[in-house]
Amino acid sequence: MGQILMIDLSLPDSSNTIELVFKNYQTNSTIQLVLASCYRFGKWVEKDEHKAFNYYQKLAEMNNSHRILFLGVCYTNGIRVEKDKLELKKNERKAFIYYQKSEEMENATEMRDASGTYNVGVCYRDGIEVEKGEGKAFAYFQKSAEMGDAEGTGQTGLCYFCSDARDQVQFRDWN
C-alpha cells in the first residue's frame, strides 16, 4: 500500500489517479477503507460523504468486523443519513446493529472488533436502542479493554473510579 500512496498528488488530476489505483485493488479491504476515508474526510479527493458511505457499505458486505464498525460510525455521525429528529431514532438503531454485529463476529479468520465492543458498551451506558444497563456497559467496556481498546480501558477505569467498593460488586453483576 505504501507504493500506492507514493503517487504524485501534485498532478493536476490526482483524484482520478487515486481512484483508478484504488479500484485496481477492489478485493483488498484495507485499500478500500483508505479510499472510503479519503472521501469521508476530503483527503486527496473532493469530500463526498455519499461515496464514502457506499465504500463503507461495500466493506461491511465483506464481513470484516472492523469494516462493519464503520457503517455504525456513519449512522452515529450522520454521514449520508438523515439528521432530523424523526430519522435519529432509526439511525441510532442501525448504528447499534452494526456495532453489535462487529462485536459478535468471531470465526476462523475474523476477530471481534474492540471498538465495536466499546460502542456496544456506550449504547448500554446511554440507553441507546437498548435498556440502559451499567452492568452490561461495564462488561463491554472491560471486554474491549482486554482486547486493547484505549477508550474501553478508560471507561473501565472510570467505572471503578466512580463507584465505591460496595457499588463495584453491583456494577460487575451484569446478569
| Overall size of the chain counted in residues | 175
User: How do residues 10-45 score in pLDDT, each as one tens digit?
Assistant: 545 555 666 666 666 666 777 778 888 888 888 878
Q: 79-83, 97-101, 122-126: which range is least confident on average?
A: 79-83
Q: How many folded domains does the chain comprise?
A: 2
What pTM, to 2 d.p., does this model score?
0.61
* Residue pair 49/39 in contact by the 8 Å Cβ criterion: yes
Domain range spanning residue 1? 1-62
Q: Last residue of a domain, which of 62, 90, 112?
A: 62
CA 143-146-149 angle, to 5 degrees, is: 90
> Residue 84: its pLDDT value, please?
55
Instruction: Centre a 10 Å sphere on the Cβ of residue 139 and count the other Cβ atoms it contains.
Output: 21
Shared domain check, 96 and 11: no
